[in-house]
């Protein structure tokens, strides 16, 4: 099994190292000092489960890799529309793209069934730009529950969690999902194949849609947002509104707002990935987390006043001189580079 990890940052390099331990032919695509370190010393994984080093091929040029069976996509979602030149050399007729993104994916309504089947979410797939380079037929959904960070070039610190849930948009138990899941498990990771992966998407989104934009607006950690009475109430309202949108689309995740809040508080003084991106001057991944759900609320006629308010504020933060709904979206002339930035599950 030949796998390319496009955007081999903290999560991507961690997955690549695990798949290498399983015997897969792994190629990491990254850039900068992180790439240089991986070329010299391989990927060093530091984990409570045991440290190890994976010596895998690393490059900044996908043409050096050629067509693969699976592309594990570790780029931020706002880079997808412009990633065509990076992805194209990796594809053959049956290459699957395992998209490890937060929020609502571009393939969400592909073979969804029901009245919204085939609907395009403009916030996620503006003008069909993402579908044009990442055909929904290639997509295997992936919800990441692991938390990792780059503690230095070529060094991944695994903080917690090993679960990467995957699933087909059409809910089938496909051979390509089973094969990928077996390799992930052989590498020491949990990789259940979920028929209803959309339920997992909404469960994780409950936290991302609330804590990520609020952390950028307040500069607060997860614990601070949970213990502050006023902010906790805002988070609760955002989560309830999100569940209402999910229900209108036929998804009723088996989790309560109270349980989700308790889990977030246990994380402690963690700074969300959105806050880390803001502090580093990087684009904010808010379209797939927040704008998409506000858009879906309009499609389903679900009132979401709190989500709309937080979206307006966070969108202004991300785009002080831009037009609404462009948080983190690259300009057409900008060619994304394989990300080597820290990437966590939050």
Rounded to an integer, what is the distance from CA 94 to the centroid of its chain? Answer: 23
Q: What is the bridge-based pairing of β-strands 139-144 and 96-99? A: parallel
HSE-up of 178 (CA within 13 Å, CB side)?
A: 4
3-state SS of the chain is CEEEEECCCHHHHHHHHHHHHCCCEEEEECCHHHHHHHHHHCEEEECCCCCEEECCEEECCHHHCCCCCEEEECCCHHHHHHCHHHHHHHCCCCCEEEECCCCCCCCCCCCCCCCCCCCCCCCCCHHHHHHHHCCHHHEEEEEECCEEEEEECCEEEEEECCEEEEECCCCCCCHHHHHHHHHHHHCCCECCECCCHHHHHHHHHHHHHHHHHHHHHHCCCHHHHHHCHHHHHHHHHHHHHHHHHHHHCCCCCCCCHHHHHHHHHHHCCCCCHHHHHHHCCCCCCCHHHHHHHHHHHHHHCCCCHHHHHHHHHHHHHHCCCCCCCCCCCCCCCCCCCCCCCCCCCC
pLDDT, mean of each 10-residue run, the chain (346 residues): 97 98 98 97 96 97 98 94 96 97 96 95 97 97 94 94 97 97 98 97 96 96 94 97 97 90 88 91 93 97 98 93 52 43 48
CATH top class, domain 2-195? alpha beta
The two structure tokens encoding residue 258: 């109270």
Catalytic choice (2, 76, 190, 204): 204
pLDDT (tens digit per residue) in 279-320? 999 999 999 999 999 999 999 999 999 999 999 999 999 988
User: Same CATH topology for 2-195 and 198-318?
Assistant: no
CATH top class, domain 198-318? mainly alpha
Please list, in sequence order, all residues whose beta carbon lies within 8 angstroms of the beta carbon of residue 98, skipping any fewer than 6 positions away.
70, 71, 72, 73, 140, 142, 166, 180
Residue 324's pLDDT is 54
The CA distances from residue 39 to 31, 55, 66, 92, 125, in Å, are 11, 8, 18, 26, 34
Residue 319's pLDDT is 87
Residue 270's pLDDT is 86
282 is catalytic: no
Residue 328's pLDDT is 44
Domain ranges in the chain are: 2-195, 198-318
* Full-model pTM: 0.90
Q: Pick from 80, 88, 168: which is nearest to 121 by CA?
A: 80
Q: Are 157 and 342 in contact, with CB atoms under 8 Å apart? A: no
CA 270, CA 29: separation in Å to the nearest integer? Answer: 28
CA dihedral 190, 192, 193, 195 (to 10 degrees): -150
């Amino acid at each position: 099994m030949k796998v390319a990890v496009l955007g081999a940052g903290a999560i991507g390099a961690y997955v690549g190292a695990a798949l290498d331990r399983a015997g897969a032919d792994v190629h990491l695509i990254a850039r900068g000092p992180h790439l240089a370190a991986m070329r010299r010393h391989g990927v060093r994984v530091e984990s409570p489960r045991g440290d190890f080093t994976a010596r895998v091929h690393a490059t900044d040029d996908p043409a050096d890799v050629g067509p693969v069976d699976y592309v594990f996509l570790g780029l931020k979602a706002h880079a997808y529309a412009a990633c065509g030149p990076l992805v194209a050399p990796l594809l053959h007729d049956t290459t699957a793209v395992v998209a490890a993104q937060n929020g609502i994916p571009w393939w969400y309504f592909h073979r969804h069934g029901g009245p919204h089947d085939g609907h395009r979410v403009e916030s996620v797939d503006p003008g069909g730009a993402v579908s044009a380079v990442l055909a929904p037929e290639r997509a295997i959904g992936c919800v990441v529950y692991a938390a990792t960070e780059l503690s230095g070039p070529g060094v991944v610190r695994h903080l917690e969690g090993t679960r990467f849930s995957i699933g087909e948009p059409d809910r089938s138990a496909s051979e390509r999902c089973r094969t990928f899941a077996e390799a992930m498990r052989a590498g020491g990771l949990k990789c259940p194949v979920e028929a209803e992966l959309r339920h997992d998407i909404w469960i994780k989104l409950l936290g991302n849609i609330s804590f990520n934009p609020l952390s950028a607006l307040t500069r607060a950690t997860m614990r601070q947002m949970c213990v502050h009475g006023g902010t906790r109430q805002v988070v609760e309202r955002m989560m309830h509104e999100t569940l209402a949108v999910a229900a209108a689309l036929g998804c009723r995740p088996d989790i309560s707002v109270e349980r989700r809040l308790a889990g977030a508080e246990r994380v402690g003084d963690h700074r969300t990935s959105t806050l880390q991106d803001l502090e580093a001057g990087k684009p904010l991944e808010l379209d797939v987390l927040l704008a998409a759900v506000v858009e879906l609320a309009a499609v389903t006629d679900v009132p979401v006043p709190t989500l709309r308010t937080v979206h307006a504020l966070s969108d202004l933060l991300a785009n002080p001189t831009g037009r609404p709904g462009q948080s983190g979206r690259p300009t057409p002339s900008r060619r994304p580079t394989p990300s080597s930035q820290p990437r966590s599950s939050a």
